[in-house]
Amino acid sequence: MCQVFGVSRSGYYNWVQHEPSDRKQSDERLKLEIKVAHIRTRETYGTRRLQTELAENGIIVGRDRLARLRKELRLRCKQKRKFRATTNPNHNLPGAPNLLNQTFAPTAPNQVWVEDLTYVATQEGWLYLAGIKHVYTCEIVGYAMGERMTKELTGKALFMALRSQLPPAGLIHHSDRGSQYCAYDYRVIQEQTGLKTSMSRKGNCYDNAPMESFWGTLKNESLSHYRFNNRDEAISVIREYIEIFYNRQRRHSRLGNISPAAFREKYHQMAA
């Protein structure tokens, strides 16, 4: 046969010995699927969540093997960073007691919301973002963006959350002691809608850990990879991240590696 194809015997055996094994070929096919999943999940998943993502798309792979292939592909998930505090607690407005004391363990939807403000740099100037997180489902249920960090901005985020959730009276609404949350008009909204006001201790970011965690995730997985020319660009990216990816697609380990929307739907199916 070697004579027919014009190759030496040693050349033929060298080719046979270097033919990829079935395992090697399988690894190469898996690597392609892993790359696709890594991109689809915006380079944010470690081995555990990536394994779940692959399994739900019909690709079963052990965690050790997946970790090895990720290492060979040099795939890394984005590392978390922290946002700096934005609100100013130095004012004379009355605050509220801390009803949570770092216990973020609701047993059903719409028992606890947390709210906070942050800012995003653009070439046009700062963009301020107010957000409200549903602690049970991890969804961002209310948010608003604008040029100024005002009580009107936080009010818009609160109204969005109220319209989307229609919460029962007694829901704990937790924030820091910034003037935007202590303002009379804002407190009236809380009182009229039956919300219980809770506030962090002065200067203690851990008292609002779920919201601080979201800011870090937003910056790490999205905002830190952009240089915004203007506020409209930033608004578009933030809205897409929250509405399309974070609430509907991003897997949360605390929710059993499913998205907030899927977790909410699962809860209502079980409660029906």
As a whole-number percent, the residues of the chain with pLDDT over 90 amount to: 57
| Per-residue pLDDT, 104 | 93
Q: Using the predicted structure, report yes or no on whether residue 5 has a pLDDT greater than 60.
A: no
Comparing 57 with 94, the larger pLDDT belongs to 57
According to CATH, what is the number of the domain 112-271?
3.30.420.10
User: For tokens 């696709």, what's the residue?
Assistant: 36
CA distance 260 to 252: 7
Rg over alpha carbons for the chain, rounded to the nearest Å, is: 25
pLDDT number for residue 77:
72
| Model pLDDT for residues 187-239, shown as the tens digit of each residue | 999 999 999 999 998 778 889 999 999 999 999 999 999 999 999 999 999 99
Domain ranges of the chain: 2-73, 112-271
Average pLDDT over residues 44-56: 83
**pLDDT of 4 above 80:** no
Top pLDDT among 135 and 89 is at: 135
Question: Counting beta carbons within 10 angstroms of the beta carbon of residue 194, is it exposed (0 to 12), middle (13 to 18) or buried (19 or more)?
Answer: exposed
Comparing 171 with 184, the larger pLDDT belongs to 171
The mean of the pLDDT values for the chain is 87
Going through 83-191 in order, the beta strands assigned E by DSSP cover 112-120, 127-134, 140-146, 172-175
pLDDT at 83: 46
Residue with more model confidence, 70 or 116: 116
Residue 152's Cβ-count burial label (10 Å; 0-12, 13-18, 19+) is: middle
Is 50 exceeded by the pLDDT of residue 31? yes
Is this structure's pTM higher than 0.85? no
| pLDDT value, residue 79 | 61
Taking only the tens place, the pLDDT of each residue in 74-116 is 887 766 555 454 555 555 565 789 999 999 999 999 999 999 9
The pLDDT assigned to 195 comes to: 97
**More confident call, 186 vs 18:** 186
Rounded Cα distance between 133 and 115, Å, is 6
Stronger pLDDT, 68 or 108, i.e. the higher one: 108
Query: For residue 123, is pLDDT > 60?
Result: yes
Task: Check residues 261 and 74 and name the one with the higher pLDDT.
Answer: 261
- C-alpha to C-alpha distance for 250 and 71, rounded to whole angstroms: 22
